[in-house]
Structure 1
Amino acid sequence: MPIPPVVLAPGVTSPTDGEYPPAVRPARGVNNVPASTVQVPAPTNVVEASKRLAAWTAVDMHVTKDCQVIGIGSGSTVPYVVERIVSQGPEVNKDRVFIPTGFQSKELIVDAHLRLGDVDQYPHIDVTIDGADEVDNDLNCIKGGGACHLREKVLAEAADTWIVVADYRKNSEVLGKTWKQGVPVEVAPFAYAKVLHNLQTLGSTGPKLRMAKMKAGPIVSDNGNFVIDAPFHEQEMKDPLTLLTRIKMLTGVVEVGLFCHMAKAVYFGNQDGSVTAKHYDGKTDQIDKPPSPTAPPAAFAGAYAASSGVFTD
């Protein structure tokens, strides 16, 4: 899709077509290496390797040449997403715009020398790739462990295609099986006590205001709000869309970390080095030979055999 022009204030000129706007701060690489050439450190354990496999495979399949506005999500898997996008090369990335879901993804975009945009400039996104705290059999997700779920949901809804990447630990039959902390609920600060009471009335078993680790007081989201973690019984979690609707209707609630009927596909990196891809139509692919660190992105090298779901050399 063509990128719409940026609305500028009077007297401010647009940069020449095809050129980056001037940098507002120096590149922050590692050991004085330019940021655009720095790679994410190689995984040192099975979980990190699984995250990288999921991220790389999702990028190869969905961040194609015609994707010009790309949403970058939050979480521990997302650095590998950016790493794989950078590997597609500067020529492909020079005209793209990348929209972050929070401070972490904004820093990843800037440090990789990718062009930073915002959803108010680009309300229509080609593809957004994000992580998740847990995913059920119907691709419903719990998100918000990093307190970014309001902006994450905005970018998910703004995208033509919303893709989730995660490691094998996040693959669950029913939400709440592995993510025990509860449903993240972002609330207006002055209403948090009322919302805590309302969540108990809805059946939440011990909702709690999320407290900061290294400061006195509660976590404050990028939007200046508080976050409540609200556990529910398995029966309620089996119907996350109904639960989402009930929580969202509470006055004082800004957003709920239940993402229902939104993902087009979820990619899970597995312990054995394979990737499981679950699609919204119920189809599941087992990718036994994901991309290697030395291979070019498959979407650009034509190396992915879609019919078999196996990467070819």
Structure 2
Amino acid sequence: MTDTIESAKRAAAQQAVKDHFKPSAAYVGIGSGTTVVYVVDAIKEASTNPDVRFVPTGSQSRQVIEKAGLTPIEFNSLPDDVMLEVAFDGADEVDEDLNCIKGGGACLFQEKLVATRAKKFVCVADYRKNQSRLLTNWPSIPIEVAPIAVPAVLRVLRSLGSSNPKVREISGLVKTDQDFYIVDAPFKTLLTPSDVSAGKGKGDGSDGTWEVNQLSKAINNITGVLEVGIFSGINGVQAEALREKKENNDVVYGAQKPVAVYFGMQDGSVKTQTAKE
């Protein structure tokens, strides 16, 4: 089984890089997790620009970049006028609208920073992560929380309907690169906007159901929360279109949702899901 999963990750990474990485690219975002190792390998083979720079989403992805002999740079060292040409990252679960749950590796805040600075975010995963709705197999929403605020945040999460939110522990309390804690908050399977339109639930928590975007906003509004591991809303291409039209002054970046997700399958093939128009 392990060999099958690793082969699936490798196949998905190679196809995603082939489709979305320009060999002459100057700035590329690299996410965290086991799948991105194969992404970096594929990029190293394809790149023709010796000056290409990679922005990691955390210490783990920085190590992967350095081990491959490539050059990482800090997010805050990017020139003001530079957008990443593409950001590659994994996911813990992806629904049919390409909404993602991320944060299983405790890097969700920096993952979102990098994704929102990219012209496009491309997700690479294996077949286990492909579900019609979020919180189908993955059990909870990861949330990055200031240590002093943990008790208050847990109380609010319970009031929002989370059954048993807990601070993540693996041989002790898990801390992020920001020295924050990760709270894992279980909720019922999340609705999509089309589910709410079809009358499958209100999606605002009042009837026990939450729609992806509404839950993300509700959690982000809790004092003490740095970021929530729901990647939803618009993608990078949509954000760029809004910027060009100047229709929404609030949109500067916004590639929280991928333009495409590559799932490596058990039989060695790759299933691609792209953004709906």
Same-fold call, TM cutoff 0.5 = yes
User: What letter is aligned with 2:50?
Assistant: K
What amino acid maps onto 1:119 in structure 2?
Answer: F
- 1:44 shift after superposition: 6.1
2:13 corresponds to 1:58? no
Question: 1:259 is matched with which residue?
Answer: 231
Are 2:96 and 1:96 equivalent residues in the alignment?
no
Q: How does 1:1-313 map to 2 (within 5 A)?
A: 45-88=3-46, 92-122=48-78, 124-180=83-139, 182-213=140-171, 217-235=172-190, 239-261=211-233, 262-281=257-276
Report the 3-state secondary structure (helix = DSSP H, G, I; strand = E; otherwise coil) of the residue aligned with 2:10.
Answer: helix
Aligned residues, how many?
Answer: 234
Secondary structure of the 1:224 match is coil
**Residue identity opposite 2:183 in structure 1:** I
Query: 1:61-83, CA deviations, whole angstroms, 9 ceiling, x for partnerless residues?
Result: 11112421000000110100011
SS of the residue 2:28 aligns to: strand
Distance (whole Å) between structure 2 residues aligned to residue 172 and residue 48 of structure 1: 19
* Alignment deviations for residues 69-111 of structure 1 (CA, whole Å, 9 cap, x no partner): 000000110100011111125xx14110001001111001111
Shifted more, 252-261 versus 115-124: the winner is 115-124
Q: Is the CA contact (8 Å cut-off) linking 2:13 and 2:35 kept in structure 1?
A: yes
CA deviation string 1:13-67 (max 9, x = no partner)? xxxxxxxxxxxxxxxxxxxxxxxxxxxxxx9611110000111100111111242
- Amino acid aligned to 2:211: D
Q: What percent identity do the matched residue pairs reach?
A: 44
Other-structure match for 1:4: none
Partner SS state of residue 254, structure 1: strand
Do the aligned partners of 1:175 and 1:238 also contact (CA within 8 Å) in 2?
Answer: no
Contact 2:163 2:187 in 1 (8 A): yes
**Which stretch of structure 1 is more off in the superposition, 110-119 or 75-84?**
110-119
Task: Using the TM superposition, give the Cα deviation of residue 174 of structure 1 relative to its aligned residue in structure 2, in angstroms.
Answer: 0.6
Q: Which runs of 5+ in 1 are unaligned?
A: 1-42, 283-313
For the aligned residue pairs, the C-alpha RMSD in angstroms reads 1.5
Question: For the residues of structure 2 that align with 1:93 and 1:226, how far apart are their CA atoms?
Answer: 38
Q: 1:203 to 1:189 in 2, by over 3 A?
A: same
Q: TM-score, normalised by structure 2?
A: 0.81
- The answer on whether the counterparts of 1:55 and 1:165 sit within 8 Å (CA) in structure 2 is yes
Contact 1:69–1:125 at 8 Å: present in 2 too?
Answer: yes
Larger Rg over CA atoms: 1
Structure 2: state its 5+ residue gaps. 191-202, 204-208, 234-256
Amino acid of the structure 1 residue aligned with 2:88? I
Q: Is the CA contact 1:78–1:131 (under 8 Å) kept in the aligned structure 2?
A: yes
- TM-score scaled by length of structure 1: 0.72
Aligned mates of 2:19, 2:210 — CA distance in 1: 30
